[in-house]
């Protein structure tokens, strides 16, 4: 039985989730991986709703990494079709609930249809001030840092910036997540314990919770449990224990 929102602990401001386990969920049931991805999309819907209910301000979901293009073409085609259906069916609903939607990552590799739907969703929800939902699509943390470094180098080359003026705060402004606070808590499902090139700069002082739950089974109870575990942690940001 799921906990009531009123009994949930005070949540971190920003929760990021590496959604893992769709394929294994399907294979364990003798189903094609496509079915797992479809159920994973349902888990996204539940998680957005649960995040609103427990008071999370920023939710970032790792939807498709820059390395995922190495998967079989048929699986990628299924994933792109699922992404189109999600963007068409969910944006209006999250807009109704005052959710702001945005995408980080290199969207140039996607079809014109997907890019158009992303642009429409971001434009429609831009002024919403409820949950901030960010979806990382064709995203890689190293690429994000590399692009930021290139932008800094371009400004230096043009004489618009002194190298000594490049601070951590200024550098963060060149990242794709500029304006979004760093994640306090990163959750990874499926039992794997690695970051997979996700928010490398931004996660410098994040707390991590690794769950055995496969992503299609992820529930509000799992989210609240991770938030509860986060609440037990002592965050020192590099300082020694008092």
Active site residues: 20, 68
Other CB atoms within a 10 A radius of the CB of residue 32 amount to 15
CA nearest neighbour of 63 among 215, 227, 230: 215
Q: If DSSP states are collapsed to H, E and C, what string results for the chain?
A: CCCCHHHCCCCCCEEEEECCCHHHHHHHCCCCHHHHHHHHHHHHHHHHHHHHHHCCCEEEEEEEECCHHHCCHHHHHHHHHHHHHHHHHHHHHHHHCCCEEEEECCHHHCCHHHHHHHHHHHHHHCCCCCCEEEEEEEECHHHHHHHHHHHHHHHHHCCCCCHHHCCHHHHHCCCCCCCCCCCCEEEECCCCCCCCCCCCCCCCCCEEEECCCCHHHCCHHHHHHHHHHHHHCCCCCCCCCC
């Amino acid at each position: 039985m799921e906990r009531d929102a009123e009994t949930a602990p005070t949540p971190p401001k920003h929760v990021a989730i590496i959604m893992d386990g769709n394929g294994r969920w399907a294979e364990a049931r003798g189903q094609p991986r496509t079915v797992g991805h479809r159920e994973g999309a349902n888990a996204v819907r539940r998680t957005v709703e649960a995040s609103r209910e427990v008071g999370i301000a920023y939710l970032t979901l790792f939807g498709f990494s820059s390395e995922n293009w190495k998967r079989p073409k048929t699986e990628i085609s299924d994933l792109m079709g699922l992404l189109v259906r999600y963007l068409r069916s969910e944006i209006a609903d999250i807009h109704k609930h005052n959710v702001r939607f945005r995408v980080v990552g290199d969207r140039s590799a996607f079809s014109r249809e997907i890019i158009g739907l992303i642009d429409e969703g971001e434009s429609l929800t831009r002024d919403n001030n409820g949950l901030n939902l960010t979806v990382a699509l064709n995203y890689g943390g190293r690429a994000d840092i590399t692009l930021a470094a290139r932008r800094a180098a371009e400004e230096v080359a043009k004489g618009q910036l002194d190298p000594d003026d490049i601070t951590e705060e200024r550098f963060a402004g060149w990242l794709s997540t500029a304006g979004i606070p760093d994640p306090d808590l990163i959750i990874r499902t499926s039992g794997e314990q690695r970051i997979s090139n996700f928010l490398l700069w931004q996660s410098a002082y994040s707390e991590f919770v690794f769950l055995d739950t496969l992503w299609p089974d992820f529930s509000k109870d799992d989210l609240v449990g991770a938030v509860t575990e986060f609440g037990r942690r002592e965050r020192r940001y590099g300082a020694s224990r008092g």
